[in-house]
Structure 1
Amino acid sequence: MMKKSPIVIIELGRQTNFYQRKEISPMSDNSLSHTRWNCKYHIVFIPKYRRKIVYGKLRKDIGAILRRLCEMKDVEIIEAHAMIDHIHMLVKIPPKMSVSYFMGYLKGKSSLMIHDRHANLKYNHGNRTFWAKGYYVSTVGLNQKTIEKYIREQEAEDRLRDQMTKREYVDPFKDK
């Protein structure tokens, strides 16, 4: 595989007349016709009523559906993880598309596709809705690696936290 060299941009300094060299890594930035961009977002959304139903075959289907829908809109999934009651995604969305438009598209289309593949969900969710109305979004800057690690390791951390919060009640008045 051929290694890409950095792109060098020479621009005029703001207060003086000297030129500055800036190197832009071709792996981190994308481009449109006259624009270089690097827009990453950490997104979390939940099933309706935060039901714990994202497991087994449904989990695999949701993953495949979300990947396909992101490919159709040229959105790159950097990291993603499906928990039993919510979805975490770290995505790169082009600036020509707003986050709210993308989330409306992703949740709307995926809900229809999920109900097409799993017809029994209509008894629990009713009128072909699967996701709750809202979502969480945060921009990602220099802390991308931290967020990727958080998404990857969150399930293990949740299990550990659950084990730590379990209380074993011991009656001090009973003999052992």
Structure 2
Amino acid sequence: MAKERWTHSDTTVYNIGYHIIWCPKYRRKVLQSPISERLEVLLKEKADEIGVVIETMEVMPDHLHLFVKAKPTASPHWIVQQLKGYTSRILRQEFKPLRTRLPSLWTRSYYVESCGHISEDAVKKYIEDQKRN
């Protein structure tokens, strides 16, 4: 069965998607196995906890791409803050090189773009194609 394009709540019908990108501090290539696998698990855990759906995720050695769907009450800044804070704290506890090589895991900056229905497929394809380039 095809997935419903819209999400319904008691008072709202919405389809809100964000393409989010962020990098490790100094764009260091630290997001490699086993850190990248653990990062994916942590991102999914936190997204479930805060009510965000990760539609597509690609972790590159020096940055990551997410395409997420969120409620209208969840701002992009809050989503990024929750995901970056949670993953940084746990990854730095579990992987000593992340504590010794970097003063903090993530840069303070990030990229976010809201995506409507028409551009959604293009964003997903772009993210999935990142590993091939």
If the length of structure 1 is used for normalisation, what is the TM-score?
0.71
Structure whose CA Rg is larger: 1
User: Could you say which residue in structure 2 is the equivalent of 1:173?
Assistant: none
| CA deviation vs aligned residue, 1:33-79 (integer Å, no higher than 9, x gap) | 20011100100000011001111101101111111110111101111
- Structure 1 runs (4+) deviating above 3 angstroms are none
1:144 counterpart residue number: 120
SS of the aligned residue for 2:30 comes to: coil
- Distance (Å, rounded) in 2 between the aligned partners of 1:66 and 1:138: 19
Instruction: Report the aligned-residue RMSD.
Output: 1.4
**Unaligned stretches of 5+ residues in structure 1:** 5-25, 158-176
Partner of 1:121: 98
Residue in structure 1 matched with residue 17 of structure 2 by the alignment: 40
Q: What is the percent sequence identity of the aligned residues?
A: 27
Give the SS at the match of 1:143.
Answer: helix
Structure 2: tracts of 5 or more residues without a match? none
Partner Cα distance (1:33, 1:119) in 2: 46
What is the aligned residue count?
132
SS of 2:34 mapped into structure 1: helix
**Letter in structure 2 aligned against 1:94:** K
Question: Which of 14, 36, 39 is 1:62 aligned to?
Answer: 39
Q: Deviations over 1:106-139 (max 9, x none)?
A: 111110011121133211123xx21100000011
Higher helix share: 2
Note the 1:36-115 alignment, pairs <5 A. Answer: 36-115=13-92
Q: What secondary structure sits across from 1:56 in the alignment?
A: coil
Instruction: Tell me: higher relative CO, structure 1 or 2? Use CA pairs within 8 A at least 6 residues apart.
Output: 2
Counterpart code for 2:112: V
